[in-house]
Chains A and B, each alone.
Chain A
Amino acid sequence: MEMNAEAKRILAVSISKLYASRSQRGGLRLHRSLLVSLVMKSARDIYHSTVALVEKAVETTASTEEAMEAMDTAEKLPEKQPEITDNTEDKENQRPVAKRPRKRPGKVSAVPDFLPEKRARLEPGEERHDTAQSPSVCRSSVVTETRSALPLLSRVIPAF
C-alpha cells in the first residue's frame, strides 16, 4: 500500500512537471519530458498492478464467501426442491428476479484520483471569480480540460 501511495504521489508530481514544462522559457525540453514520462510509466505500472492485486484479493475473498454459502445451501437443497417446482409453472407472471449489478462494487469513478484539479490555471496576478455559468458552458470546459489531460498519460511527447 505504501508503494501504491508513493506511485500515486510520483504520478501527480510528474504530471505537474509536464504541465509546467509547457510554459517554461525555451519550449518543451524533449530529454527532460522523456525522463519524466518514463518515471510516470513506472509509477503507473506499479499503481495499476497494486490496484489489480487488491481487486483480485477482493474477488478471491468474495468467491470464497460464495463457495462457503454454496456449501451451506447444498445441504439444505433437498428440502427446498418442491417449492422450486411450484414456482416454475407460472414464470411469466413472476416478479422479475433482481439481476446482479454489472458494475463492480466499490468502483466509484473511472477517473483516477491522482489527476490534478480540472480548474484552469491562472496567469500570475489574476484572481479567480466565481461566476454563474450555464450548464452547457461548464460541461464543454470540463470536457476540454479532460481531453487535454488524457494525452499526457497516453502519449509520451507531443509531435513537433
Chain B
Amino acid sequence: MVPSSAQKVFYLLIYFCVVSAEAGEKSSEMEWCFSQVKGAIDDEVAEADLISAVEFNYTGELLATGDKGGRIVIFQQNPENKSQPQCRAEYNVYSTFQSHEPEFDYLKSLEIEEKINKIRWLPKKNAAHFLLSTNDKTIKLWKISERNKRPEGYNLRNGPYKDFTSIASLQVPVFKPMDLMVEASPRRVFANAHKYHINSISVNSDNETYLSADDLRINLWHLEITGQSFNIVDIKPANMEDLTEVITAAEFHPNQCHTLVYGSSKGIIRLCDMRAAALCDKHAKIFEEPEDRNSRSFFSEIISSISDVKFSHSGRYMMTRDYLSVKIWDINMGTRPIETFQVNEYLRSNLCSLYDNDCIFDKFECCWSGNDRVVMTGSYNNFFRMFDRGFRRDVTLEASRENCKPQSVLKPCKVSIGFEISIDSVDCNKKILHTAWHPLDNIIAVATTNNLFIFQDKLK
C-alpha cells in the first residue's frame, strides 16, 4: 500500500535485549560501560550551554568541549587512575575559559555568534598544550599551561612595593611551590579572512600550517602568522544566482601534508593536491556515488549534503556522514564507497516532517576508533551508533542519565520499524551531533544537548 502524502503515522518499536552471545563471539564484541557524565541535570537547558564541539587531544589525555556560549572546558584524564584499567576513563575539569565573545559587524549589521564551531588540538611540542578554536568568523590559538611554582623573595616588592631605604641586603628570588594553576591564554588571533561562516579547521601534518574552510573558500594559514592567509580553494561563482554547491567540511590528510579533502552540499567529496597548483579549484580526485533515481524526493539534495568528513588514522580511508548514512571511501577509488552504513533509514519516510521542524538541517559528525576498525556517529533520541567494519556488526547505544551507575554495562538498543510508526517517537530535541573517540584507547565521549557522557569498553 502506497503511503499518502499527508502526515504519516509511524511508531518506533524500541526494546532492549541483553547481549547474550556465545563466548567465542563475545570476546570479539565490545561492551561499553558508563564512566562519567558532565553537565547540568536541569530539564531546561540554557542555549549557551549547548555543546557544539568535542575533541580529544593527540594522546587522549585531554578532552576539550566547546559550547554555544563561546566557552571551552578542558577535561584531563586522572593521572592516578591511568594504571587502573577499570577507572581509566575518569576525566576531571582541567581548565575553563571564554574563547569567543559575541561580536557585531557594523558594516553588514550582522551579529557574529560566539558559538564554538570546531576545536582542533595541536601536537604537543613542550610542556604546554595548544589548541585552535573557531566560531563563524575568527580562529584563535590558545595556549594552556600549568603553573605550580611562583617566584618569591623579590627585593623591591613583596606584594606592595617596599620602602627601598629599608633594604639592608639583597636576596635572590627563588621559585617556591604553589597550588596548581592552569592558565589559558590566546596566543594568536586569525581574523578577517572569511566572508562566510567557518565550518571546519584542520591542522596539517607539517605542524606549521592549518586550513580553515567556510561555505565557499578554504584558506591556508601559518600558525605563526596572523596577518595573512592563502586562499587555496574558491568555489564562489561570478554570479551568486548561479550558486549550486557550498563547502560543508574540509580536512587535511593525516600523513600527507599536501593533500586535503572537502565535502560539499551535493554529496561530493573532492581531494586536492597543493603541489599541483597554488589554487586548488581543480580537484585531483573526486568521490561521488551515483544517485539512486528511485528514491528521489523533494529533499534528496538536503539528505545527500555532507555534514562531516574524516580521514582514518592510517590515511588510507575517509569517512563521510550525510543525513541518513555513513560511507567509507578508499581514497584510491572515487566511483563508489567501499562501505555504507545506514544510520537512521527509518527517517526517510518522514523527511517532510523533519523539514518542517528544521531537524533535516542537523549536521551529525562521525569519528574513527583508534585502530580504524570501528566508526561511530550520533542520531536522535540520544542514540549513538557504532559500526564494526571488521565483523560487519553494528550496535545502537543510548546516552541517558538513567543508565548512570558507574561501570554499568550499556545495553544495546534494538530499533525496529513496524508498519505503524509515530513521528512523536522520534525525539528530535535529544540528538547527539558530536562524538569523539580516544586516539589510543577505547574511551569515547558523546555529547548530548548539554551533557557530556564518557564511556569505556569493558575489559574482559
Residues of A with Cβ closer than 8 Å to B?
Answer: 2-3, 5-7, 10, 13, 17, 25-27, 29-32, 34-35, 38-39, 42-43, 155-160
Contact B136 A38, beta carbon cutoff 8 Å: no
Given the known interface contacts A3-B5, A157-B240, A157-B243, the answer about A26 and B298 at a Cβ–Cβ threshold of 8 Å is no
Contact A26 B136, beta carbon cutoff 8 Å: yes
B113 within 8 A of A: yes
Among A7, A31, A159, max chain B CB count under 10 A is at A31
Complex interface: chain B residues within 8 A of A158 (CB): 240
The residue from B5, B111, B195, B301 contacting A6, defined by CB atoms under 8 A apart? B5
Contact B301 A39, beta carbon cutoff 8 Å: yes
Chain B positions 353 through 394: 1 when the CB is less than 8 Å from some CB of chain A, otherwise 0: 001101001000000000000000000000000000000000
Complex interface: chain B residues within 8 A of A156 (CB): 240-241, 243
Q: How far is the CB of A73 from chain B (nearest CB, A)?
A: 45
Q: How far is the CB of B111 from chain A (nearest CB, A)?
A: 5
Contact B299 A34, beta carbon cutoff 8 Å: no
Complex interface: chain A residues within 8 A of B243 (CB): 30, 34, 156-157
Contact B302 A26, beta carbon cutoff 8 Å: no
Contact B110 A26, beta carbon cutoff 8 Å: yes
- For this complex, 6 residue pairs linking A to B, each with C-beta atoms less than 8 Å apart, are A10-B352, A31-B215, A32-B361, A35-B301, A43-B298, A156-B241
Contact A38 B240, beta carbon cutoff 8 Å: no
Complex interface: chain B residues within 8 A of A34 (CB): 243-246, 265
Contact A38 B111, beta carbon cutoff 8 Å: no
Complex interface: chain B residues within 8 A of A27 (CB): 108, 110-112, 197
Interchain CA distance A157-B108 in the complex, whole Å: 16
Interchain CA distance A157-B197 in the complex, whole Å: 15
Chain A interface SS verdict (over half): helix
Contact B241 A2, beta carbon cutoff 8 Å: no
Given the known interface contacts A3-B5, A25-B111, A157-B241, the answer about A30 and B197 at a Cβ–Cβ threshold of 8 Å is yes
Interchain CA distance A159-B199 in the complex, whole Å: 20
Given the known interface contacts A6-B5, A13-B356, A159-B240, the answer about A30 and B108 at a Cβ–Cβ threshold of 8 Å is no
Q: How far is the CB of A122 from chain B (nearest CB, A)?
A: 20
Contact B355 A13, beta carbon cutoff 8 Å: yes
Contact A35 B305, beta carbon cutoff 8 Å: yes
Chain B positions 216 through 255: 1 when the CB is less than 8 Å from some CB of chain A, otherwise 0: 1000000000000000000000001101111010000000
Contact A2 B5, beta carbon cutoff 8 Å: yes
* Chain B interface residue bracket vs A: 20 to 34
The residue from A7, A26, A39, A159 contacting B112, defined by CB atoms under 8 A apart? A26
14 extra interchain contacts, Cβ-Cβ under 8 A, other than A31-B305, A160-B240? A2-B5, A26-B112, A26-B197, A32-B361, A34-B245, A34-B246, A35-B301, A35-B302, A38-B301, A38-B302, A155-B241, A156-B240, A159-B240, A160-B108
Contacts between the two chains (Cβ within 8 Å), count: 74
Name the residue on A nearest B108 (C-beta).
Answer: A27
Q: Which chain B residues (236-285) contact chain A, with CB distance < 8 Å? A: 240-241, 243-246, 248, 265
Name the residue on B nearest A38 (C-beta).
Answer: B301
Interchain CA distance A6-B5 in the complex, whole Å: 7
Contact B355 A39, beta carbon cutoff 8 Å: yes
Complex interface: chain B residues within 8 A of A13 (CB): 355-356
Complex interface: chain B residues within 8 A of A159 (CB): 240
Shortest Cβ-Cβ A-B pairs, 10 listed: A27-B110, A26-B113, A30-B215, A38-B301, A6-B5, A35-B302, A31-B246, A2-B5, A42-B298, A159-B240
Name the residue on B nearest A39 (C-beta).
Answer: B298
Interchain CA distance A58-B454 in the complex, whole Å: 65
Q: How far is the CB of B362 from chain A (nearest CB, A)?
A: 11
Interchain CA distance A42-B216 in the complex, whole Å: 23
Q: How far is the CB of B208 from chain A (nearest CB, A)?
A: 30
Name the residue on A nearest B300 (C-beta).
Answer: A42
Interchain CA distance A41-B4 in the complex, whole Å: 22
Name the residue on B nearest A43 (C-beta).
Answer: B298
B97 within 8 A of A: no
Given the known interface contacts A6-B5, A13-B356, A156-B241, the answer about A30 and B216 at a Cβ–Cβ threshold of 8 Å is yes
B154 within 8 A of A: no
Interchain CA distance A17-B361 in the complex, whole Å: 12
Q: How far is the CB of B172 from chain A (nearest CB, A)?
A: 54
Interchain CA distance A17-B352 in the complex, whole Å: 14
Interchain CA distance A25-B216 in the complex, whole Å: 20
Name the residue on B nearest A2 (C-beta).
Answer: B5
Name the residue on A nearest B195 (C-beta).
Answer: A160
Interchain CA distance A155-B239 in the complex, whole Å: 11
Q: How far is the CB of A41 from chain B (nearest CB, A)?
A: 9
Interchain CA distance A60-B196 in the complex, whole Å: 51
Given the known interface contacts A155-B241, A159-B240, the answer about A35 and B298 at a Cβ–Cβ threshold of 8 Å is no
